[in-house]
Structure 1
Amino acid sequence: MFDRKEMMEAFLCEANEELQKLEIEILALEQSGDSETSIKRIFRVAHTLKGSSAAMGFDEMKTLTHEMENVLDGIRQGRLRVSTELVNVLFACLDALNALRDDIEAEREAQTPTDRIVERLRAIGSGEAGAGGSAAGSGEPGHQGEGGGQAPFEVGEQDAAAIKQAEREGMQAYECLVKLADTCEMRLVRYYVVAERFNSGGQVIATIPELHMDLDVPELRFLVVSGLGEAELKAKIEQIMDVSKVSVARYALTEAPSSEPQIAVAAAAPEVRQAPGAAPVKEQEQKRSSQTIRVGVDRIENMMNLVGELVIDQTRITQLGHLLRDRYPVDENLEMLEQVANHFTRVIGELQESVMKTRMLPIGQLFNRFPRMMRDLSQNLNKDIHLIMEGEETELDRTVIEEIGDPLIHLLRNAIDHGIESKEARLASGKPLVGTVRMTAAHQENQVVLTVEDDGAGIDPERIKQSAVRKGLLTQQAADALTEQECIELVFMPGFSTASTISDVSGRGVGMDIVRNHIEKLNGLIDVQTKPGQGTTFIIKLPLTLAILRGLLVNLGPSTFALPMGSVVEIVRYSTRDIYTLKGQPVVKNRERVIPLLWLHDHFNLPRRKRTRDHVFVVVVGVAEKRIGLIVDELIGNQEIVVKSVGSYIGKIEGVSGATILGDGSVALILDVTGIFQLAGTPKKIGSAPDAE
């Protein structure tokens, strides 16, 4: 039996799912108008929330969803029409429901006022408000075809389980419309007789409207399960006195996919029982959908930590095998050890991949947050925006999805406010009045690439440069020395903004620097491409996961460091004669391009190894189009590394993003490539050329 805490967790989980669906469906309703499908889906969400909130005793949520049902019923019956104002009211209901959910989650009394929105819904439902309005020429509500325009059957978990159990026993669910003759004087009695007849060969699951003592309607809809066929069931009910019409149709349960950011793990399907007259078992197995179970995120995180420990031990076993082979080259037992180690490596690899997949979620769950925001912003700014989202099925680590949301919101807000021009400006430049913002996600090797693109005015490098000088962020001399791309990248400087006025959307000098810092914390990169008058594209590259990555191990003096392989462009060996000094900076020519060199030894206060040869190893790393060469003492190789936080005791170290445990048990710091580029921009932290030793 569930206790209150378990029931609350289940309620909040369901509420989160249903509220996300509600936002999507309200947007769909606005775009499609009086779409019967959208109305039914919104009705289903409202009905589900009403039932669950009533069961938990949350009366404010129950009342609000009940009034939403009344308005939706008016739309369905043709008494109300869908308008922008009515959609705004539905969105206000959604906001109130989200706030009530937050109140409940915080274990406090409902603090969100709902009286005004409830009154507004009641006024709309009664036709007293302008929102939605009455449908022109609408008379008495009627049916659009047989059974059209009626409320869908909403079944709870117990009813759904009863239907599934009956189907496994060879029965079928039916939706039956029973209409009584106009001369029938005892309608309630007749409906009870009909229900008893249904129960004699099956079971009545639900009725619309509900069967109660004050019921007096000309027709009633039954949801039943029965072992009879459609024709037999219809004939059985038609025999009852005063029944003038019976229609029978098969009913199928519909289950919307979950959108809660929890992990769905495939479970074994139950054994299929062969029902009389049913399709063969093999056929049923082909049609049978996979089942899932909910697993708490904390359990998945614990599994990932354990897998990380196994990866570390697997590396240690491999390294130990190599050491023993060098010491005892002819020992036959080592072959057995190597076989076990190789099998262990394969199993760990498969286990790691499986656990990683359970952490992955489609990025569409993040993208679904943005259409509502874009709609509201376009209304506030009086701009028509068409949002295109592509690659929603692209999977990304749930931790990364949670962290990347705010940066994407900043980029989208800037795209609408700064990027997309006003209607007058677009008309004058010959552009469509409706601006386009496109978001895409795609896998690229071991990374996910996100792009936010608009067809607006683009970024003017000269305006950016002058704005930075005017705000005191750069001197005029430093600004004149910048290239066009470097001018564009000034948008990432703290406090930078070109907005002439401060608004709720932007213009306060915060945003883009936060975006870059947030992405860098995720070991990601951000780049910007723009064409004045044509638009701007921001490109974000993120690792698939933050837990385990492939790294290049290098030696700097007596210490070992790891570089994320996603940032390594190439590894080159240069003679000391190929290294030159340019304005005090050691550089080397690489593929017709001058690349600065950096000695990290000096930054980390490590002694440079005494050189016994006339060449050095250079690891060329890159961020977007930038390149820099890191001089290292020795290359160890690449391997899977488990990312560990350095903790608050050590704090933030410039140029370091984390740490990992190596096969011999020692600790290696993981270098932050973006931080290294910042080090390269600080002359005092750049060492002298190698030949200066």
Structure 2
Amino acid sequence: MLSEYREVFIEELEEQLQLMDEVILQLEQEGETDRVIQSLFRAAHTLKGSSAAMGYEEMKNLTHEMEHLLDQVRGKAIAVTGPLIELLFQSLDCLKELKIDVLRNDGSLTDISSCVGDLQSFVQLSTEIEVRESVDFSQLPTLSLEQSLKIQECQDHGLKVHWISLKLSPECVIRGARFYVIHSNLNHWGEVLHALPDIDGIDDLGDESLELQFLYAGSQSHEELQELVAELTEVTAVKIEPQLTDLMGAIESTESTDRKSDVQEQIVIEDQGSVFNVKPQTQTQTIRVSVERLDHLMNLVGELVIDHTRIHQVERTQRRQFTEESVNELGQISDHLSRIIADLQDSVMKTRMLPIEQLFNRFPRMVRDLTRDLGKEIELVIGGKDTELDRTLIEEIADPLIHLIRNAVDHGIESPAQRELSGKNRKGTLQIRAAHEDNQVVIYVEDDGAGIDPARMRTSALQKGVISPEEEALLSEREAIELIFRPGFSTASKVSDVSGRGVGMDIVRSHIEKLNGIIDIETQLGQGTSFKIKLPLTLAIIIGLLVKLNDQTFIIPMSNIAEIVRITRNDIETVRGQSVILLRNQVIPIVWLHDHFNMPRGNEEKSHIQLVIVGSAEKRLALAVDGLIGNQEIVIKSLGSYIGKVNGIAGSTILGDGKVALILEVSGIINQR
């Protein structure tokens, strides 16, 4: 049965770890507040319960110690300090290692003994415990589903729910009366939801086990309740623990005692601190769907798009040959299918879309750690978190963004002392934001640092042998700045854990270009640098321009096309043996795609030539083709492992006539020039 919940547990684990990351950062930046501490405590408690239910003992033990520490913080016994924050981050990192163990599912376990020991030692050294009597209270009882629902109801009304464990004095003579008085007092202050033992069994307790337990709901804080109960007559020891709803255990317990039920409800997990949250039927119902199913559904939609293109092709062919009414009917069916498939495609696309917030939320902790390691002061500003992007792209763009952020923190933003000398604020600003522009997603990584010095770029590239002296003499300022994307280039004076190994920015560009994206850079010396990344909304279906080369059809992604021009042969000029065209004062090299793919050129006697101007960042290239067919939705298909990666080819697709057409990889063609 546990295997059925494993995927659910992993999803909740990732959510809670991300929440803890954010809350610990918030605790460090904003200081101690009841809301922040409670959120962190609730997350630790949730993970403790769910990991225990799944049988992950290491994670349960670690979160138990975290919960105990946070309970002391919540009770004001431990203050929030720098060492406490570091310990919480250390514990969170251990939990992330345990998450990797869970994902591996190979029986390997991270050693957490050191972290658990640190948590225990911190509590012992930081608290002064007033012990009125050495007390070893028994374990709290397991609650039924009805009791768990009652707790949830009380909390929804703003009440705090606690377990109150207390011991009566051995000299207590009339125990039943004392139990009744305590019970009455608690009901006067709030409401007793459950009591152990019941009043009939109180006189059966031995002298060494005069322990009473009450599940109590009231408005008092932990400290206020402690004081009230401690003042009760003949009470010698008190322990108060918060009780959070744990519907998972209650549900599993209910299922184990009612296996014969014909109707089983599926309860969706959707609450900050509980694994399962029973939602009213009037609210929107949600289900979890595996990524593999969504990918399969997307593939099926792609096949529908291909088949519809073929139907449309058949309809056009039939219309040219026949005029029967059946041909008109075929056209109507084709148009109706087009609308349905477009709606279906849009719906499937939306199911694959996720807010980019899931990616951006990783960065505050990373920037915090980097700034501490480098001795810098940086404020991270994040915008456009609700911008949606295909989940595949979110995963793929993570590494390039991490490279850009590390580069900005290490190279871009100066140290506080340097910024003061430059007349700037000691604290630098790093901004990461996303937005939708022209059916694409644009991501900006901007800093207000020193900017990029073209002269320094030239010198460093020359010293490292990235460029020759002849090439250095011909570089414009723009081209000098773009040296940052050359393999092996770095301006770092020393190699560190952050950067300076001569790798990174070239990987960023190549990775983004493989995603059919474009990266651009704008910089101003002394003012800062901005990286702009443009990505398609999805990698599965694109709009492409169909072009002819002899008898073959090729496809150029529309996202790479700047414009299309028609020129005469007299418009072509030659610079250093390279055919070029002058277009609005910009010299653009011309590439005959026939030559690139070792195909014979088309009719050389044509007076006019069709040029497709494509671009990657600031680079432009004019692709000479024999003819233009038109735009079309293209379903991208991989060439497969047998063919492998081909320079200049991004994939293939199936056209309306059933033939295969190759999709050009514009960045690959440009980089080969």
TM-score with structure 2 length normalisation? 0.81
- Aligned partner of 1:96 in structure 2 is 94
Paired residue secondary structure (2:288): strand
Which residue identity lines up with residue 307 of structure 1 in the other structure? Answer: V
Which residue identity lines up with residue 222 of structure 1 in the other structure? Answer: A
Say which of 79, 82, 85 aligns to 2:80: 82
Cα distance change of structure 1 residues 30 and 180 upon mapping to structure 2, 3 Å threshold: closer
Listed as ranges, the gaps of 5+ residues in structure 1 are 142-152, 225-240, 243-250, 256-269, 271-283, 682-693
What is the CA distance between 1:205 and its match in structure 2? 12
1:121-160 alignment runs, 5 A limit: 121-126=119-124, 128=125
What is the CA distance between 1:189 and its match in structure 2? 4.0
Paired residue secondary structure (1:467): helix
- Aligned partner of 1:118 in structure 2 is 116
Q: Distance in 2 between matches of 1:96 and 1:591?
A: 58
Q: Distance in 2 between matches of 1:529 and 1:504?
A: 26
Say which of 209, 215, 221 aligns to 2:216: 221
What is the CA distance between 1:124 and its match in structure 2? 1.8
What is the CA distance between 1:627 and its match in structure 2? 1.9
Q: Does residue 326 in structure 1 map to residue 347 in structure 2?
A: no
What is the CA distance between 1:626 and its match in structure 2? 2.5
- Aligned partner of 1:51 in structure 2 is 49
Contact 2:356 2:385 in 1 (8 A): yes
Say which of 546, 558, 564 aligns to 1:571: 564
Cα distance change of structure 1 residues 182 and 491 upon mapping to structure 2, 3 Å threshold: closer
1:6-45 alignment runs, 5 A limit: 6-45=4-43
What is the CA distance between 1:107 and its match in structure 2? 2.2
Cα distance change of structure 1 residues 667 and 223 upon mapping to structure 2, 3 Å threshold: farther
Residues 232-287 of structure 1: CA distance to partner in whole angstroms, max 9, x if unpaired? xxxxxxxxx99xxxxxxxx99999xxxxxxxxxxxxxx9xxxxxxxxxxxxx99x9
Paired residue secondary structure (1:669): strand
Contact 1:410 1:512 in 2 (8 A): yes
Say which of 576, 584, 588 aligns to 2:581: 588
- Aligned partner of 2:371 in structure 1 is 378
- Aligned partner of 2:308 in structure 1 is 314
Contact 1:551 1:641 in 2 (8 A): yes
- Aligned partner of 1:630 in structure 2 is 623
Contact 1:563 1:671 in 2 (8 A): yes
- Aligned partner of 1:534 in structure 2 is 527
Cα distance change of structure 1 residues 166 and 62 upon mapping to structure 2, 3 Å threshold: closer
Contact 1:451 1:538 in 2 (8 A): yes
Cα distance change of structure 1 residues 394 and 668 upon mapping to structure 2, 3 Å threshold: same
- Aligned partner of 1:512 in structure 2 is 505
Contact 1:173 1:252 in 2 (8 A): no
1:548-559 alignment runs, 5 A limit: 548-559=541-552
Q: Distance in 1 between matches of 2:100 and 2:196?
A: 32
Contact 2:548 2:625 in 1 (8 A): yes
Cα distance change of structure 1 residues 479 and 454 upon mapping to structure 2, 3 Å threshold: same
Contact 1:520 1:674 in 2 (8 A): yes
Residues 633-686 of structure 1: CA distance to partner in whole angstroms, max 9, x if unpaired? 01000010001111222222211111111111111111111112123x2xxxxx
Stretch deviating more after TM superposition (479-488 or 214-223): 214-223
1:5-404 alignment runs, 5 A limit: 5-126=3-124, 128=125, 162=149, 186=175, 189-190=179-180, 221-222=216-217, 289-328=283-322, 330-404=323-397
Which residue identity lines up with residue 293 of structure 2 in the other structure? Answer: R
Cα distance change of structure 1 residues 166 and 113 upon mapping to structure 2, 3 Å threshold: closer
Say which of 515, 524, 529 aligns to 1:522: 515
Stretch deviating more after TM superposition (75-84 or 382-391): 75-84
Q: Distance in 2 between matches of 1:156 and 1:595?
A: 75
Stretch deviating more after TM superposition (599-608 or 171-180): 171-180
What is the CA distance between 1:454 and its match in structure 2? 0.8
Say which of 607, 614, 622 aligns to 2:600: 607
Paired residue secondary structure (2:32): coil
Q: Distance in 1 between matches of 2:163 and 2:592?
A: 85
What is the CA distance between 1:461 and its match in structure 2? 0.6
Q: Does residue 652 in structure 1 map to residue 645 in structure 2?
A: yes
- Aligned partner of 1:459 in structure 2 is 452
Cα distance change of structure 1 residues 180 and 656 upon mapping to structure 2, 3 Å threshold: closer
Cα distance change of structure 1 residues 606 and 110 upon mapping to structure 2, 3 Å threshold: closer
Which residue identity lines up with residue 221 of structure 1 in the other structure? Answer: Y
Stretch deviating more after TM superposition (177-186 or 39-48): 177-186
- Aligned partner of 1:235 in structure 2 is none
Q: Distance in 2 between matches of 1:181 and 1:100?
A: 36
Contact 1:400 1:545 in 2 (8 A): yes
What is the CA distance between 1:108 and its match in structure 2? 3.5
Which residue identity lines up with residue 672 of structure 1 in the other structure? Answer: E
Cα distance change of structure 1 residues 50 and 582 upon mapping to structure 2, 3 Å threshold: same
Say which of 390, 393, 398 aligns to 1:405: 398
Paired residue secondary structure (1:505): coil
Say which of 622, 631, 635 aligns to 1:642: 635
Residues 482-526 of structure 1: CA distance to partner in whole angstroms, max 9, x if unpaired? 110111111111111111111111111111111111111111111
- Aligned partner of 1:238 in structure 2 is none
Contact 2:432 2:446 in 1 (8 A): yes
Q: What is the aligned-residue RMSD (CA, Å)? A: 3.8
Listed as ranges, the gaps of 5+ residues in structure 2 are 132-139, 220-231, 234-242, 248-264, 266-278
What is the CA distance between 1:374 and its match in structure 2? 0.8
Q: Distance in 1 between matches of 2:143 and 2:575?
A: 74
Q: Distance in 1 between matches of 2:669 and 2:111?
A: 51
Residues 351-392 of structure 1: CA distance to partner in whole angstroms, max 9, x if unpaired? 000000000001110011111111111111111111111101
Q: Distance in 2 between matches of 1:397 and 1:390?
A: 18
Contact 1:205 1:223 in 2 (8 A): no
Which residue identity lines up with residue 558 of structure 1 in the other structure? Answer: D
1:490-509 alignment runs, 5 A limit: 490-509=483-502
What is the CA distance between 1:459 and its match in structure 2? 0.7
Cα distance change of structure 1 residues 191 and 288 upon mapping to structure 2, 3 Å threshold: farther
Residues 571-627 of structure 1: CA distance to partner in whole angstroms, max 9, x if unpaired? 111122222222222222223333221101011111212245411111111222322
What is the CA distance between 1:222 and its match in structure 2? 3.2
- Aligned partner of 1:476 in structure 2 is 469
Contact 2:193 2:214 in 1 (8 A): no
Paired residue secondary structure (2:358): helix
Which residue identity lines up with residue 43 of structure 2 in the other structure? Answer: V
Paired residue secondary structure (2:287): strand
Q: Distance in 2 between matches of 1:254 and 1:632?
A: 66
Paired residue secondary structure (2:79): coil
Contact 1:34 1:75 in 2 (8 A): no
Q: Distance in 2 between matches of 1:83 and 1:409?
A: 29
